[in-house]
Amino acid sequence: MKSSLNIALVPLDERPVNTRYPQMLGAIAGANILLPPVEIRGSQRQPADPEAVGQWLRKVVASDREGVIASADYLAYGNLINARISHESLTDVLPRLQVLEEISRLEKVVYAFGLITRVSNADGSVEEPLYWENYGTRFYRYSGLLHKREAKALEPDEVEALRQLERELPENLIADWLHRRLRNHTVNLALLDMLARERLAFLLVTSDDTSPWGMPSHEKAWLESWLSILGSRVQSRLLVHPGADEVGSALVARMICENRGVSPVVCPLYAVPGGEEMVAPYEDRPVRLTVEGQIRACGCTLTHSPEDADILLGVFPPSPVRTEFCDEFTESERRERHPYYKSFLAQLGVWQKVGRTVALADVSYPNGSDPVAMELLLAPDSPLAPGELAAYGAWNTAGNTLGTTVAQAVCSLFIEGDPERAAMQKMFLTHRFVEDFGYQAVVRKQVRELNQQRFGQGNPNPDSAEEVFATGVAIEEGLQRILTEQLHPVGVGTGLRIKPGSVRLPWRRTFEADFDLIADES
């Protein structure tokens, strides 16, 4: 059995999706993923210490790390949120990327990833500049109209709408927003420069919560315009597509594949005819292109022939409603998509029964599993065995789901009979079902309603340890119930349970939750 691969990961931020997921996926394939020490990682609006992170990276790479995967946002600004809110200048942040140049001279494999900064369509400042609380939706509209103006695509009524927004939005805030975007765009250009000079082995630039019209899409087009100019030598080592929090996992899979000298062949299959052309919420292109981009990001080769594939990737494509699932969709979804889902699961079940590697990505709705699809998948007579899937995902955006699903399927190819790797594969698959279905699609709503009754709001007061603790207790009870009553009977997580007291709210809110699974000794 090939010896372990050692990878140093500079994550996008400290949340489990960016730290724990890549480590768990690496363990499935026998790779050791080393992260910056907790004490220098930062938390939410408190950035990591960029200088300390750079020194840590130099130190670990000088020892036994064969490869590096690095977030430019973390190196330059301290984390994802600070890329959106910090006031540091370009001359402050650019020198922090110098560490990647130094490491490349040591003949280490260096992958980097940068983010095209999002424009959030909400009046809320949890992850944005404080003025987003009052102006967020107007800045989102302004962003889209600016892009349309530059593309000479403004409709007559939009000309006046743009002028009105320029009167409503304070001039100093517009300047602050645009200057920060210019700084961040220049950092991405610096990454492209390093790639062209072969200081980076691979570069992935993703669009965070994007849309067809807006400054993120405009900036993406600027970056992509360099591809045809720089030629095939750069094109083969650069990808640009929607995504963010899945990138660390995807690049771990890619580096493992490169280390093994393989490129697994993946065939995407779609549950609904024509669904591959739907544009998912928070994205700017047909989901087919997101699927293909995530397959390539994970170091794989695309095919449309199931017979030639190492991995069959089943995809529940975006619903035409293009929003999160709500209960009133249930009957129409059953009527319109249920027949397709039944035949699709039967098709995948045939492949699974003959020993093919089958993964399932549910991007019907953002932020959780499609309940209609889960009714069929978790039914006692389901033709597809969920506990035997190579991967499952249904969290947050389509790019998030697809990146982690393909990454897990890839890593599962390298278990090689190792019982510890097989145990981690089972653990991660169970984690995905419990979190993406159990929490995001079911328990989160229940807990928010409970919190509304007892605290007067869906999220706990982040400054109240009592409210945060009570929320965690309710989540644990709900997740254990899902695991015991719905997942165990169909072979998912058999012999596992939620570790008592392990539920954590990384940012002291209910949007995301983390937890541990342990052997059930009862």
Which overall architecture, per CATH, does domain 5-120+179-260 show? 3-Layer(aba) Sandwich (3.40)
Q: Rounded to whole angstroms, how far apart are CA atoms 342 and 156? A: 47
Distance of alpha carbon 383 from alpha carbon 436, whole angstroms: 21
pLDDT band at 1 (very low <50, low <70, confident <90, very high): very low
Q: What is the rounded distance in angstroms from the CA atom of residue 428 to the CA atom of residue 67?
A: 23
228 has a pLDDT exceeding 90: no
Cβ(317)–Cβ(275) under 8 Å?
Answer: yes
Q: Measure the CA–CA gap between 520 and 26, rounded to whole angstroms.
A: 24
CB 84 within 8 A of CB 109: no
* pLDDT at site 331: 82
The average confidence (pLDDT) of the chain is: 95
Give the residue with greater pLDDT, 326 vs 430.
Answer: 430
Q: Tokens for 244, please give them.
A: 């963010």
C-alpha distance from residue 124 to each of 131, 164, 283 (Å): 8, 22, 20
In a 13 Å sphere around the CA of 7, the CA atoms on its Cβ side amount to 35
Which whole number is the average pLDDT over 223-246?
91
Q: Which pLDDT belongs to residue 326?
A: 82
Domain 5-120+179-260 identical in fold to domain 263-416 = yes
> For residue 208, what pLDDT band results from cuts at 50, 70 and 90?
confident
- What are the backbone dihedrals phi and psi of residue 298, each rounded to the nearest 5 degrees, phi first? -80, 5
- Calculate what percentage of the chain has a pLDDT beyond 90: 90
Distances (CA, A) of 393 to 183, 295, 302, 488: 34, 14, 19, 18
Distance CA 248, CA 70 (A): 8
For residue 16, pLDDT over 80 is answered with: yes
- Tell me: the pLDDT tens digits for 440-449? 999 999 999 9
Lowest mean pLDDT among 63-72, 187-196, 379-388, 407-416: 63-72
Average pLDDT of span 421-450: 98
pLDDT, tens digit (0-9, with 9 covering 90-100), for 279-317: 999 998 999 999 999 999 999 999 999 999 999 999 999
Candidates 3.30.70, 1.10.3470, 3.40.50, 3.30.160; correct CATH number of 263-416?
Answer: 3.40.50
Q: What is the spatial distance between Cα 101 and Cα 112, in angstroms, rounded to a whole number?
A: 11
pLDDT in tens, 244-286: 999 999 999 999 999 999 999 999 999 999 999 999 999 989 9
pLDDT at 330: 78
Q: What mean pLDDT is predicted for residues 135-143? A: 97
Closest by Cα among 5, 40, 6, 36 to 18 = 36
pLDDT tens digits for 183-199? 999 999 999 999 999 99
Q: What is the pLDDT of residues 158-170, one digit of tens each?
A: 999 999 999 999 9
* Tens-digit pLDDT profile for residues 355-397: 999 999 999 999 999 999 999 999 999 999 999 999 999 999 9
When pLDDT is averaged across residues 396-406 and rounded to a whole number, the result is 97
Average pLDDT estimate for 452-473: 97
Q: Where are the domains of the chain?
A: 5-120+179-260, 263-416, 427-522
More confident residue, 408 or 232: 408
108 close to 65: Cβ distance less than 8 angstroms: yes
Q: What is the mean pLDDT of residues 72-98?
A: 97
Q: What is the pLDDT of residue 64?
A: 67
